[in-house]
Amino acid sequence: MSKKKSKTAATKAPKKQAAQRAKAPRAAAASGKVDASGGKTVYATIFIYRTGNGTKIKTSPQRIYANPNDRIEWSVVNTVDGSDVPVTITWPGEGPWGKQPIEFRNYDCKPVDGAAAGRYKYVVSALGAQEDPEVEIPDI
């Protein structure tokens, strides 16, 4: 008969020190990029695509939340033909920046400073299609 040899428990490898990374606060990281003035950039993407029923537009997110010292950045993704198409944002009534429409091709960034507080519906128009998302600016 053979004798069973007892073995000692295996030793664990020493833990490595992970490098500390500076992280942005969760609220700022989730809602947009923080700029030097203390505000953040809120992003909205306008998707232009073709279906069997014609050209459609989808804006994501449907409601933009922006504070008075923030900026709103609209960008356009054209999946119809990939070209830079003119996009127009109009307001049915008085908008946060007045009654003038915003016209751009690929990208536009508007500061919210000086914009009136409230919830505003706006109409995005491109390639004969329209959609009506919202902008909400709280009263601070």
What's the average pLDDT block by block, 10 residues per block, for the chain (140 residues)? 65 58 41 61 93 92 90 92 90 85 89 85 90 83
* Amino acid 20: pLDDT: 43
Q: Which pTM value belongs to this model?
A: 0.68
Structural domains in the chain plus CATH codes = 26-137 (2.60.40.420)
Let me know: does 15 contact 47? Beta carbons within 8 Å. Answer: no
Pairing assessment for the beta strands 118-121 and 33-34 based on DSSP bridges: unpaired
Residue 140 confidence (pLDDT): 66
